[in-house]
């Protein structure tokens, strides 16, 4: 989870993001598009995590600022991960944004 946040925050790591995405839910995504840095990521606050065998969830708030704006916004997500062949993959999540 934290490594994926870092990849978004730094930008340019679309290959990594795509490689850590559960392939059945990554249809239509490209490394090029995932590499684009569209917002300034400021902070990640992991609220909780839970693992049950090869499935896990992570609840977090990620704080960001859109280009040209001073207001900090928060994105809340409950992410779902799946472990396959010893590697964790991002499946998807429930996202909400707060201004």
Question: Would you state the pLDDT for residue 63?
Answer: 97
Express the helix, strand and coil content of the chain in percent, nearest 5 each.
25, 50, 25
Q: In what order do the strands lie in the sheet with 55-65?
A: 40-52, 55-65, 72-84, 87-98
Question: Would you state the pLDDT for residue 99?
Answer: 61
User: 19: Cβ–Cβ under 8 A, 6 or more apart, which residues?
Assistant: none
User: 46: Cβ–Cβ under 8 A, 6 or more apart, which residues?
Assistant: 1, 2, 58, 59, 60
Question: Would you state the pLDDT for residue 98?
Answer: 73
Tell me the per-residue pLDDT of 52-93, one tens digit each, with 9 for 90 and over. 999 999 999 999 999 999 999 999 999 999 999 999 999 999
The CA distance from 61 to 75, in Å, is 5
Question: Would you state the pLDDT for residue 42?
Answer: 96
CA atoms within 13 A on the CB side of 68: 1
CATH 1.10.274.10 holds for 2-98 = no
Residue ranges per structural domain of the chain: 2-98
Tell me the per-residue pLDDT of 6-35, one tens digit each, with 9 for 90 and over. 999 999 999 999 999 999 999 999 999 999
Question: Would you state the pLDDT for residue 1?
Answer: 83
The pTM for the full model equals: 0.90
The CA distance from 76 to 3, in Å, is 17
């Amino acid at each position: 989870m934290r490594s994926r946040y870092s990849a978004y925050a730094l930008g340019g790591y679309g290959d990594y993001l795509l490689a850590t995405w559960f392939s059945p839910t990554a249809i239509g995504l490209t490394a090029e598009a995932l590499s684009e840095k569209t917002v300034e990521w400021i902070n990640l606050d992991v609220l909780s995590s839970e693992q049950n065998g090869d499935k896990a969830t992570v609840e977090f708030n990620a704080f960001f600022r859109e280009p040209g704006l001073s207001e900090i916004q928060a994105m809340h997500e409950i992410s779902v991960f799946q472990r396959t062949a010893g590697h964790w993959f991002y499946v998807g999540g429930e996202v909400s944004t707060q201004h």
